[in-house]
Chains A and B, each alone.
Chain A
Amino acid sequence: MSFEFENFKLRRLIIHEIFQRDLDRKAKEPIYGNAYTSLTQDGESIFKERFVNAMGSNSHSIEMSIEKTEENSLFRTICDMMHASDNVFIKDSKHVAKRLVEAQVSRKIPGGIVVIFSGTVGRNNYNYCGIIKAEVHAGFMKVFDRDKGLAIEFISNLLLTPQQKLYKIGVFICKKNSGEEITQDDLLAFVYDHNMTAMETRQVAIYFYETFLGCNISPTDKKLTQDFYYNTKRFIDEADIDDEQKVDLHSGLYSYLKTDTGGTIKVSEFANRYFENEELRQKYQVFMRDKKMPGRAISKDLTYLKNKLKRRSMFFTSNVKISGPAERFPELVKITEQNENQTVVTITGKIKTQE
């Protein structure tokens, strides 16, 4: 079963500020926080909400594989931080902020606040260590003025609002609770970065997940994409809905995987986009969970489905089969009428060859 971000508890939180590179592209020294920030109960609850909305089940976060584990890698620092004393954690967190500055080589990448936090998560209370890079934006605050009554006040340094595009999160979870040495296999890595959700912006995300975090798209995502296709197909075939709806859903599955430009796929996203009602969505979700499909996003990788998605076919009870190029299938093959015994199909084109 995939890891669930339930039972999230926050223990330590510290922030540092990093800056965009100068015109000469030299890195600027961060401004470091030297002590932990303690949030009010409400503040902590909103922080938890932001985190789970970005990382939890149904979110766009992606499980990654950890690639860089050598001596000076971020991985080593994170391992150190999992069981570090308060002082060591603060020192290490500064090191982490510094590494992010180094990874941001392009002048296009903005500065922001680096939030480094730790605590426990999951039913087994695993230790985690998380890093948020939050861009600062502007907004307004309601104020009450004795003379004027209600008014608004400008704020130039807002962060961690519900606007998810403005932050990236990396989190490492340690499955080993004892203080023994942590290996690569003991850590899970998850990343949320809005830029990863669309194919064309993937490149922009690399500095964060690869250069900085030392992670990469997990090789299992090829397999998961394939599983997603076959399981969803099976669900549609077996669902208690009429055939017309099934045809639409098969077309939907094809376009979700093949023509949609999204860089990730997600059970809840497919459900919300293509199923008509809550009952069906619910059944689909339970079905996919039983098939061990993760609730969060999977990086879309069609390697194993290339051939499968080239052509679409339809089989009739009379053993007649129609097949055609998948991307134009709905437009080339139109079903206009259907009952128990016959189907009226209009096919664009005329007979070329026969066997």
Chain B
Amino acid sequence: MNETEFLNRFHQDKPMLKAWGNYVTDMIKSSLEMEYPDLYSKMLQIPPAARLKTDDSIIQKAFYRGKNYEDPYDCITDKVGTRFVVLTENDVSLVAGIVEQRDHWSYSRDRDYEDERSKNPLLFTYQSIHFILRNRENVFYKGITIPDNTPCEVQIRTLLQHAYCELSHDLIYKPGVGASPQVQRLMARSMALIETTDDMFIKALNEMKQTERPLGAFATGLRSLYSDKLGKLNYEYKLNSIILDSYKPITDALDIEEIRNFYNDTNNEFILEQIKEKNRELFFRQPVALLLYYLVKNREYLVKSYWPITDMILRKIFIDLGIAFDN
């Protein structure tokens, strides 16, 4: 296969490869959102998108890198790829876990920085996880058939690792172009620092989690009531805490069962509808919303006097319940 034949085939396959890349990207994104609804919104630092290799770079890789591929077209597995850039190494593991769990494809780990670290403990260089995924069966996606065994590369890395890659791409990673020993040394030092920083980030996050008090029985009860009645929630620890802390004098004497009974009453079903209608607003996606409607309905004077944040939200609840707010 010469360069022209190679490029012809690549151009012909491009729409199919792009479709496969999009399919993989969407599938991983939606699985992440489903498995980690609370974390998802903050997980991805750069919107992942399928990208095809450029003509120049694929030709270089096939014919000019001294790789002596037997069948260069099939041996190049990153004709299409997608990249997930996350904040911490914990998140890297979560994304990797998702990739490994899906049945839609078989996978191989092409690069794994954990492995590489244990093999070369003294080396500080490019770190990223690379998977090669291949569909087990033909996939029909958005009007395009993707034949089975089509490869797609998935890269997973932290934001800091990504910064390193972006900078070093032209300096070190591509063999054949020599970087000066000083540059190599500087890059290795920065990677050592990155690895240290990533590690400290995780430690800091864990520390933070420990200072968040475990949810009390009441908060846990509210949370499960919310999932039962309204489904998905994205729990904002701070917002819930501020409000629960303010109403502690009331909730201390309040049994969560009383609130559950209130919402089991068909007369109050409309309240759940009202909450659903407002789910564009963060507050109404929180379990405390259920507490507030209950309190306004039953103890409106106390609710007003203990309310800790701006009136705007409380006003909406009063109005939904047919109670004048400003009188």
Chain A residues within 8 Å of B, Cβ to Cβ: 4-8, 45, 48-49, 52-60, 121-123, 125, 162, 268, 271, 278-279, 281-282, 285-286, 295
B205 / chain A contacts, CB cutoff of 8 Å: none
Interface centre among B267, B315, B321 (most CB of A within 10 A): B321
Taking CB as reference atom, which chain A residue is nearest B249?
Answer: A279
B267 / chain A contacts, CB cutoff of 8 Å: 123
Partner of A285, one of B300, B305, B326: B300
> Do A6 and B325 have beta carbons less than 8 Å apart?
no
Chain B nearest CB, measured from A235 CB (Å): 14
The 17 listed contacts between A and B (C-beta, < 8 Å) are: A5-B322, A6-B270, A8-B319, A8-B322, A45-B319, A52-B324, A56-B322, A56-B323, A56-B324, A57-B321, A57-B322, A58-B324, A121-B322, A122-B322, A278-B305, A279-B302, A285-B300
Near A by CB (< 8 A), chain B positions 176-221 give none
Partner of B327, one of A59, A121, A279: A59
A286 / chain B contacts, CB cutoff of 8 Å: 298-299
B299 / chain A contacts, CB cutoff of 8 Å: 282, 286
A60 / chain B contacts, CB cutoff of 8 Å: 327
Bound CA span A334–B323, Å:
40
Asked whether B316 is an interface residue with its Cβ less than 8 Å from the other chain, the reply is yes
Taking CB as reference atom, which chain B residue is nearest A59?
Answer: B324
Using A6-B320, A6-B322, A49-B315 as known contacts, say yes or no to A123 and B268 having CB atoms under 8 A apart.
yes
Asked whether B283 is an interface residue with its Cβ less than 8 Å from the other chain, the reply is no
Asked whether B318 is an interface residue with its Cβ less than 8 Å from the other chain, the reply is yes
Chain B 247-270, CB-CB to A under 8 Å as 1, else 0, gives 000000000000000000001111
> Do B327 and A52 have beta carbons less than 8 Å apart?
no
Taking CB as reference atom, which chain B residue is nearest A61?
Answer: B324
Taking CB as reference atom, which chain B residue is nearest A281?
Answer: B301
Partner of B270, one of A49, A58, A123, A281: A123
Chain B nearest CB, measured from A260 CB (Å): 17
Interface centre among A4, A45, A48, A49 (most CB of B within 10 A): A49
Chain B nearest CB, measured from A171 CB (Å): 12
A45 / chain B contacts, CB cutoff of 8 Å: 316, 319
Using A4-B321, A7-B320 as known contacts, say yes or no to A53 and B270 having CB atoms under 8 A apart.
no
- 5 other A-B residue contacts (CB within 8 Å) besides A52-B325, A53-B324, A53-B325: A5-B322, A53-B319, A57-B323, A123-B270, A286-B298
Partner of B319, one of A48, A123, A268, A279: A48
Q: Which of the four size classes fits the interface of chain B?
A: 20 to 34
Asked whether B274 is an interface residue with its Cβ less than 8 Å from the other chain, the reply is yes
A285 / chain B contacts, CB cutoff of 8 Å: 300-301
> Do B325 and A4 have beta carbons less than 8 Å apart?
no
Bound CA span A285–B295, Å:
13
Using A49-B315, A52-B318, A52-B322 as known contacts, say yes or no to A58 and B327 having CB atoms under 8 A apart.
yes
> Do B301 and A53 have beta carbons less than 8 Å apart?
no
Bound CA span A176–B267, Å:
17
B300 / chain A contacts, CB cutoff of 8 Å: 58, 282, 285
Bound CA span A1–B274, Å:
22
Taking CB as reference atom, which chain A residue is nearest B278?
Answer: A45
Taking CB as reference atom, which chain A residue is nearest B306?
Answer: A278
Taking CB as reference atom, which chain B residue is nearest A54?
Answer: B324
Interface centre among B274, B301, B305 (most CB of A within 10 A): B301
B321 / chain A contacts, CB cutoff of 8 Å: 4, 6, 57
Taking CB as reference atom, which chain A residue is nearest B323?
Answer: A57
> Do B325 and A271 have beta carbons less than 8 Å apart?
no
Chain A nearest CB, measured from B158 CB (Å): 40
Bound CA span A10–B327, Å:
23
Bound CA span A49–B323, Å:
10
Chain A nearest CB, measured from B297 CB (Å): 9
Bound CA span A268–B326, Å:
12
B269 / chain A contacts, CB cutoff of 8 Å: 123
Chain B 299-315, CB-CB to A under 8 Å as 1, else 0, gives 11110110000000001
Bound CA span A286–B250, Å:
15
> Do A278 and B323 have beta carbons less than 8 Å apart?
no
Chain B 265-296, CB-CB to A under 8 Å as 1, else 0, gives 00111100110000000000000000000000
> Do B324 and A162 have beta carbons less than 8 Å apart?
no
List the 4 closest A-B pairs by CB distance, nearest first. Answer: A5-B322, A6-B322, A59-B324, A282-B301
Taking CB as reference atom, which chain B residue is nearest A3?
Answer: B322
Using A4-B321, A123-B268 as known contacts, say yes or no to A53 and B326 having CB atoms under 8 A apart.
yes
Bound CA span A125–B267, Å:
11
Partner of B301, one of A7, A59, A271: A271
Using A57-B324, A58-B327, A123-B270 as known contacts, say yes or no to A49 and B319 having CB atoms under 8 A apart.
yes
Bound CA span A45–B323, Å:
14
Using A7-B270, A7-B274, A58-B324 as known contacts, say yes or no to A52 and B301 having CB atoms under 8 A apart.
no
Chain A nearest CB, measured from B269 CB (Å): 8
Chain A nearest CB, measured from B229 CB (Å): 16
> Do A52 and B323 have beta carbons less than 8 Å apart?
yes
Bound CA span A288–B245, Å:
29
> Do A295 and B301 have beta carbons less than 8 Å apart?
no
Chain A nearest CB, measured from B268 CB (Å): 7
Bound CA span A271–B319, Å:
20
A278 / chain B contacts, CB cutoff of 8 Å: 301-302, 304-305
> Do B319 and A7 have beta carbons less than 8 Å apart?
no
Using A6-B270, A6-B320, A123-B268 as known contacts, say yes or no to A49 and B325 having CB atoms under 8 A apart.
yes
Bound CA span A55–B325, Å:
11
A49 / chain B contacts, CB cutoff of 8 Å: 315, 319, 325
Bound CA span A279–B303, Å:
11
